[in-house]
Amino acid sequence: MPTPLIAVTTDAKDLEKYTWHATPQPYLDAAISTAGVLPALVPSLGDKYDLDSLLETVNGVLVTGSASNVYPALYGGNATDENGPYDHARDATTLPLIRRAIEKGVPLLAICRGIQELNVALGGTLAMEVHERDGAFDHRGDEEAAFDARFAIRQSVKITPGGCLAGLFDTSEIAVNSVHRQAASTVAPRLQVEAMADDGTVEAVSVKDAPGFALGVQWHPEYWAHNDNASARIFKAFGEAVHRHANARISARIAAE
């Protein structure tokens, strides 16, 4: 069987007089080397292409992190200069893509901005500047630090017993990194909380009634997937779900012939 293809979301960025659709390399490395899948970057072009055709072609969707924030009007919030930057082209693509992937049972892994998009796509809301809440940890990465320090594993999260994450780990707590300013506020009704930080921040969710693997994490397993067991376990689980989906499709096609 050929290596299954997954869709990887992109940011729309203005650079050298063009709009580019790009994603950071650690997501691609983790997809290839740890999940064992072939990543294909999908442009943030909203309804300019047919998502259902895309989802017939790929066997998984990886929703990446980004420094930009989901546009607040999409969850009933107010945009401010301090809350940006925004990426309307990305929002117009990822939100419908997430909803359709869940409906069609295509495995979904949503990371950082991705878990926030998953929550908003299903009707949840986001809290801005979570580090400003009373008793909150500083979940932001150090902008001045080198990348390994910015993405250092430095925070513990408690895993909800009986959930999807609990099935991946034989421990109730794992250590993760943290590079975000926002987090889920009202959790969408279809989501179940899979992990929380000790300050009450929602750190992972899954889709309760999803026909396939559908997990969001607020941290960045892609960054250390090559040498941290907990990070690798998440990408391996996603990869296994993608392979199962691809095999099931092949079997269904053979049975229909």
- Stretch near ligand LF53FM6H under the rule CB under 6 A, chosen from 44-52, 98-106, 160-168, 173-181: 173-181
Place of tokens 């401010």: 80
Considering the complex, state which of residue 117 and residue 194 has its C-beta at the smaller distance from ligand LF53FM6H: 117
- What's the angle, vertex CA 37, arms to CA 196 and CA 148, rounded to 5? 50
Q: Are strands 126-127 and 183-184 parallel, antiparallel or unpaired?
A: antiparallel
- The answer to whether 24 touches 1, Cβ cutoff 8 Å, is no
Q: Does 112 participate in catalysis according to the annotation? A: yes
Rule CB under 6 A: is residue 30 a binding residue for ligand LF53FM6H? no
- Binding-site member from 92, 121, 179, 215 for ligand LF53FM6H (CB under 6 A): 179
Rule CB under 6 A: is residue 65 a binding residue for ligand LF53FM6H? yes
Nearest distance from residue 83's CB to ligand LF53FM6H, in Å? 9
Is the CA virtual torsion 134, 137, 142, 143 positive or negative? Answer: negative
Q: Does 132 participate in catalysis according to the annotation? A: no
Q: Are strands 18-22 and 202-207 parallel, antiparallel or unpaired?
A: unpaired
Nearest distance from residue 127's CB to ligand LF53FM6H, in Å? 9
CA–CA dist 5, 39 (Å, integer): 6
- The answer to whether 80 touches 126, Cβ cutoff 8 Å, is no
Neighbours of 46 (CB within 10 A): 18
Considering the complex, state which of residue 65 and residue 107 has its C-beta at the smaller distance from ligand LF53FM6H: 65
Give the count of residues interacting with ligand LF53FM6H (CB under 6 A). Answer: 12
User: Annotated catalytic sites, by residue?
Assistant: 112, 220, 222
The residue ranges that bind ligand LF53FM6H (CB under 6 A) are: 65-69, 112-113, 116, 179-182
